[in-house]
Amino acid sequence: MINVKSLKFNADQKLLDYVEKKVGKLEKFFDNLGDIDVTLSLLPDPDNKNVRLQTRFPGEDLVIERNAKTFEEAVTEAADAMKERIVRAKEKRFDK
């Protein structure tokens, strides 16, 4: 399940749909992935958007944070980085 929280602004439906689409793909990389918490926030710099993804992988918390000029760009970068972290964690866990 994906939980989206926007801090100090209201995310529009288009942005929420984008987050669901991008972050939802992470679930196919590991079946027992916990809920994914997505936090969208505005940084003091008006051109800087922050996205934080957090999920529970068996045995560890995975957290990725990315900043970009648009939320879409930050979500894409964070989701790609989280995918790599999940794959690495899965390989580490099953290579034992």
Task: Output the CA torsion 43→13→74→77 (10° steps).
Answer: 160
Q: Which CATH class is domain 2-94?
A: alpha beta
| pLDDT tier, 46 (very low <50, low <70, confident <90, very high otherwise) | low
Which pTM value belongs to this model? 0.90
Q: Are 22 and 4 in contact (CB under 8 A)?
A: no
Per-residue pLDDT at 96 exceeds 60: no
2 DSSP β-pair partners = 36
Domain boundary assignment for the chain: 2-94
Query: Tokens 């939320």 — which residue?
Result: 71
Helical ranges in the chain per DSSP H:
13-24, 71-94
Instruction: Give the C-alpha separation, 55 to 52, whole Å.
Output: 10
